[in-house]
Amino acid sequence: MRLDIHPSDGPFGARARGVDLSGPLSDSLVDDIREAWLAHKVLAFPDQRLTLEDLERFCARLGPFSEDPFIAPLPDHPHVIEVKREAEETSPIFAETWHSDWSFLPTPPAGTALYGVEIPPVGGDTLFADQHAAYAALPDAMKRRIDGLLGVHSAARGYARNGMYGDKDVGRSMDIRPSDDALKTQTHPVVRAHRETGAPALFVNMGYTQAIEGMEQEEGWALLLDLFRHQQQPQFVYRHAWSPGMLTLWDNRWLTHCATGGYQGHRRLLWRMTIGEQPS
């Protein structure tokens, strides 16, 4: 097998062909995949035929399995969750707020893998925003202002009992389990160096960043809103379209992302795993 990379028409992102992820992969091919993933930030593998075991085996080659709180895993597959929406569902679209996966954890996942089991014929694109490019485009004065600041992250808006997916969220097919654990907070640098490349990127997001440590709430929230508006500008965004059998990898250290709708009346089912940082 030989990896064949086709960059997207957007500011980043690529499709990878020439590999069958359902079978064994050589160390050199895995190295090529990781290199392409780092280079393009979002790497999609169309036309794959994967079982749950295939997905787990492939992700294990990229790094340790990461934690996925607040959503029940599939039976006998403790590291796989279903991102599911039935055709008749009317609840808000899952993950339609800009976020970086589980940024409220002490060690957020390095990457996410999402495999399209059932993909509607319309809608359902995922938007990704490049936070390395967003940081680079900040005015020097703003870079100086945020240098050394810590963002306060929490899952409360989504997964607390009074959150978006809390006790009042009825009629949803995903097995989300809200908890008081969502009220816990974790700090991370507002500007964080990518562990593998060392390049700086903004590490704040509308979904999980609640405050700036050491700032009054009003002042900190005003600063965060400025950063949120900046980081979502069209020049930083790649719109990713799905197809059945597509496996997509993205790098949470570079990116924020959000889901979109537009597929009312169609069932949508994906399997998701998160990938941890490789040991130093």
pLDDT tens digit string along 204-254?
999 999 999 999 999 999 999 999 999 999 999 999 999 999 999 999 999
* 217: amino acid identity, one letter: Q
> What CATH number is given for 4-275 in this structure?
3.60.130.10
Per-residue pLDDT at 1:
84
Report pTM.
Answer: 0.97
Report residue 278's pLDDT band, with 50, 70 and 90 as the boundaries. confident
For residue 138, give the nearest of 11, 226, 253 by alpha carbon: 226
* 164: amino acid identity, one letter: M
DSSP state letter for 182: G
Domain ranges (residues) in the chain: 4-275
The 3-state DSSP composition of the chain as helix, strand, coil percent (nearest 5) reads: 25, 30, 50
Does residue 280 surpass a pLDDT of 70?
Answer: no
Which has the higher per-residue pLDDT, 279 or 175?
175
The proportion of the chain whose per-residue pLDDT surpasses 90, expressed as a percent, equals 99
Dist. CA 51–CA 55, nearest whole Å: 6
DSSP code string of 131-181: HHHHHHTS-HHHHHHHTT-EEEEESHHHHSTTSTTSTT--S--S-B---GG
pLDDT tens digit string along 81-90?
999 999 999 9
DSSP state letter for 195: T
